[in-house]
Amino acid sequence: MTNCKNVHSIECHWLLLIIDNCLVIGSIDGTDTEPHDKGIIRALNANYKSNYKVKGIPENTIFIARLSRRTTERSLKHEFSKFGKIIRCRLIKDIITNFSLRYAFIEYENESNAKLAVKKGDKMILDEKIILVDFECERLLPGWVPRRLGGGFGGQKESGQLRFGGKDKPFVKPINLMNEDEIKNQYDQKKTYRETRFKNR
């Protein structure tokens, strides 16, 4: 694992980056030592490499998710062009049905436009849907494994395969459980504080 400051200069929000270890993304505090779902096992066994056919500069590219099925590339360009000049817009579709898979990628002319889009575009309402906007992960995060292979970020609680570390579901600090003496000490401190306040009235 490494800090995001060591991977490119973007002001990313990821607390931890995954390098050859997908275990931590399945843990809310990044401390798991054993996979707790089959998706994590798939991700650990995946030998995933970035799609070499993907064009554009990754630092200038944003990821947009939770789109309406009605959203088109035209409407995406219209909404996101207010953050800067768009070089490329790609709405991802099913190769058989040609229906939208409800996520897209937009490449801007420069990195500052991409940062602005991530900052201002996230949680924007587009075609009656609250969308998620983030930086592209596939080419920016070392060891990245996509959702279909058990990795990714986010997810629904009902799936039993939540993934932490991203904007939507960030890591939290490990929970420190107190022993009996610490609990008693904390109780005594609060009791003393309350009694002192009562006497000073």
User: What pLDDT is recorded for position 170?
Assistant: 65
The DSSP secondary structure of 139-152, one letter per residue, reads TTSTT---GGGT-S
Q: Which string of DSSP letters, residue by residue, matches 19-63?
A: SS--GGGGSTTS--SS--SHHHHHHHH------TT--S-GGGEEE
- CA nearest 104: which of 139, 141, 145, 74? 74
Helices (H), ranges, 46-179: 73-80, 111-121
| Tens-digit pLDDT string for the chain (201 aa) | 333 333 343 444 443 344 345 666 777 776 777 777 787 777 777 888 877 788 899 999 999 999 999 999 999 999 999 999 999 999 999 999 999 999 999 999 999 999 999 999 999 999 999 999 998 888 877 777 887 777 777 776 666 676 766 677 666 766 555 556 766 676 577 667 566 755 665
In the chain, what are the domains?
4-159 (3.30.70.330)
